[in-house]
Structure formats: C-alpha cells, structure tokens
Amino acid sequence: MRRTYPQATGLAVTGVAVTGVLGLLLPGALAARGIFESKPLPQDRFAVLARPVGQNNWKLLVLEQIKRKPLCWTPRADGLVEPTLNSFNFAGICSRYLDSNGYSIRSGGSDLGARFRLRLMQKGSTLQLQAFNPDQKAPIVVGHAPIPQRQRNGFVRLELNDDWRLERRAYQGRTLSHIYFANPDPVQLLLAKAIHQSRGSSLASLGAPKPPSMPPPIPKTSTRDVSFASRRTNGQRIASAGPIPLQVIPYRSRR
C-alpha cells in the first residue's frame, strides 16, 4: 500500500513545474502586480484535510476527485476521513496538493504566497486553518473543523469560512495545477477583521462585566439619638463662640 505523503506525480507535478519555470522567468515585481489569474472550481470535487503528525501537530492536505470512481476519500462513521486513494493506482483519478508548491493564499485578486503561509492550529477540540504572517498582529482564519478524535490514519475534514473558495491558478488563459485558497476581499480588510475578532475573543475570555456591588445600608437613628446629637452640636457651637464667663465668689476671712 502506498502512502499519500510523498511529492505528487502526474498532473500535479507537471503544473508545479510550469509554475516554477514561470516564477524563474518573471520578476517578483510583475508577480506582485497580479500576473496570474484564477478560475473558479467545483468545490465538491475537493476535500481539505488535516493529517495528524506526531503527538500534537497537523499537516494540511488537499485532495481532488478528477473522475467519479473510485473514491479518493471516504467519510467514516466516527467523523474522520479515510484517504482511500492509498488502496489503488490513483493516477488520472485523484490529485493531491501537499505543500506551498501545490497551494497558496489569494486575496482581492493578488497572490499572497510570498507574504502569508498556511498553518493548522489546534485550540482545544477545534482545528483552525490560518493564513499567517509573523509581521501581522493576528492570523486570518480561512477554515475550521471540530476534532472528533485523533488517530494516525484518520484525517479531519475542514470547512472553509464564508467567502473563502478553492480556485485554480491560470496564466494567459492556461490553467495550472496550483490551487488558491481565495477570498474576494483585499488583504487589508481581512487583516482588520482578524484583529477585531481577536480583540473580541480576548474580551470574551474575561467574562461578562459584573454590576457594581451595593453599599451597605445606613443604620436608622432613633429620635433620642437625634436629640442628643443636636444638643451636642449646639454645645460645640457655644464653646466655639468664645470663653464662657465664670461666677466669682468673694473671699471672706473669719475672725
């Protein structure tokens, strides 16, 4: 049984080779201006999968079903996906995209492969597909999936977030094998949304704000206490008005 992890052969290799030659012939400045185009793809022909690696890591893998049968992947009852293309010669039937040679990010009609890389990040029981640039404050979340369980041969299928689609790279009308994770919005807008969502998540982790506690009740004062306090206050006012005259008793000597 062959593994799905070595470099892809056939159509994928041919497309990657063409892309590599174009990259060598064309200056980076031209590529930055959007020399490549993209074309829409039927989304149901693709599966975006996460393969467990080691104890905690994940590897991104994209499979394409070119012919209807045999199936390149099969959903399992436990929520994971079985890469069934391992069990037959899938040349001309399935294509696979394993790394940045096979897929990249496209936003607002511009290629971002040189600035952003795709990574899988696990947060609790959820897996996120992120477009990450170390110079940016927050990653752009491209897709997500719950993790039913972790098994060596069981892959997790990811769902792309709203407005994210798989598209194919094209050059002067000729389609290449390279796959885009594409979004119609410009990257500046996506980054602004990512920063806003990140701040919202940070505030949510602190919990809902609590109302201020009520001060203790003021004890009731009886009429007797008020009268005493009033007399005491009046006495203090008299004392503060000046010296109090004292009656002098004359001294009489006894004879």
User: Does residue 166 sit in helix, strand or coil?
Assistant: strand
- In sequence order, what are the residues at sequence separation of 6 or more whose Cβ sits closer than 8 angstroms to the Cβ of residue 75? 81, 82, 157
Can you say how many angstroms the Cα of residue 200 is from the centroid of all Cα atoms in its chain? 11
Residue 189 in tokens: 């807008």
Q: Which are the contacts of 74, defined by CB distance < 8 A and separation ≥ 6?
A: 81, 82, 84
CA dist., res. 61 & res. 173, Å (int): 27
Q: What is the per-residue burial (b if ≥16 Cβ within 10 Å, else e) of 101-125?
A: bbbbbbbeeebbbeebbbebebeee
Angle, alpha carbons 177-179-185 (nearest 5°): 145
Q: What is the pLDDT along the chain (255 residues), one digit of tens a residue?
A: 445 444 433 333 334 343 443 343 343 434 444 699 999 999 999 999 999 999 899 999 999 999 999 999 999 999 999 999 999 999 999 999 999 999 999 999 999 999 999 999 999 999 999 999 999 989 999 999 999 999 988 999 999 999 999 999 999 999 999 999 999 999 999 999 999 988 876 545 555 556 666 666 766 655 555 454 455 544 444 444 556 566 666 656 555
Distances in whole angstroms, Cα of residue 17 to Cα of each of 22, 62, 117: 9, 18, 20
Q: Tell me the whole-structure pTM to 2 decimals.
A: 0.69
